[in-house]
Structure 1
Amino acid sequence: MEIEEKEESVWASALSCLLYFVCDRGKICRNRLKCLDIRVIQALLKVSRRNSWAEVVHSKLICMLSNMFYQVPDEPNKTVSSTPMFLVDQVDLIGGIEFIFLEYSLANSREERRNLYLVLFDYVLHQINETCIATSVSEYTDDEIQPLATLLTLADAPEAFYISVKLGVEGIGEILKRSISTALTRYPNSERLNVEDNVH
């Protein structure tokens, strides 16, 4: 998506319209984001940074962006997992995971860092599971991954990882992947983890 329009007032109007349609009493409605192209939010984030929009606005945009990486079943169904499904195609639409790393490194609030960290975490898990599938080994289930995700959150991993990203530690994506892989080796069937793919 091109950001050719330079007039800030045009972007501010676009943002107002977007918030009107996707929010209800100040809360973002995930189901209203479904038909929206993720590149719209990406463009607004870039404009927000360029024009130093209020932090609360940027935070809302990060929240929307993060939500757009997941598909949630419309109605609870006991036969279908209620766990949100990570939409890796959305990463391709925004030009790769680098944009998430950039926003993560510039994030000012804990909420933004937590939301973006979860996207990075799920992206790494997707890569690990892709490797499992490619080697004809069963992928990790939600039941195996959820305790790890909870532990990392309780250990304040989003903040710790943020410091590494902020300091520009080289190969940080690979470090995250290795950390998750190591933690998953504690589960049964840990032979699934012979992952060599790179995360940038």
Structure 2
Amino acid sequence: MRFGRRVLFRELALTVQPGESLAITGANGSGKSTLLKVLAGVLTPVAGAVQLVVEGEAVAEEERPLHVGFVAPYLQLYDPFSARENLLFLAKARRLSGAEARIHDVLDRVGLAKRTEDLLGTFSTGMRQRLRIAAALLHDPPLLLLDEPAATLDAAGRALVEEIIALPDKLVVVATNDPDEAALCAHALSLDATAEARTAG
């Protein structure tokens, strides 16, 4: 995978099964976030492919967003909308049935049940991150991609991230520089600054 003229990683092969978790670690600029974007289908690799298999069937690239939950501090939220309205917008885009009940459930799960109708412009950085987590869980996807998920969270928020990493029915991939967070995952992949990939654990 290239970023401009710089190769971030090459000859990288990953196979992760449902119910497993994988930590992606490495120095700043080593390609952790880029790799998650490739897995999410946001970026296309120069060579090779990403294949997501759900219930024995390969998922078409255009359908991948329906099966992936992505959490990252740079993902856009809409300040003029309430927490509920932000999630309702996503629910419609994902063709989610029973959206209102599901929105109530995920907002409660991330600790925002009492802020459902508050405009996002009134939210702290940590609360915005909780809403991103709610958005990732909204459609109950089999694959969760978490990019520095606990970076702006308090102790209760970090405990929430730990619970998500441990979900038995999800494949969870976490990009992190936090060794404690990485240790929560069953497997680890380290990307070094020279764009060579090596596995550990």
- The structure with the largest alpha-carbon Rg is 1
Q: TM-score, normalised by structure 1?
A: 0.26
Relative to its length, the structure with more helix (as a share) is: 1
Relative to its length, the structure with more strand (as a share) is: 2
Higher RCO (C-alpha 8 Å, min separation 6): 2
Q: TM-score, normalised by structure 2?
A: 0.26
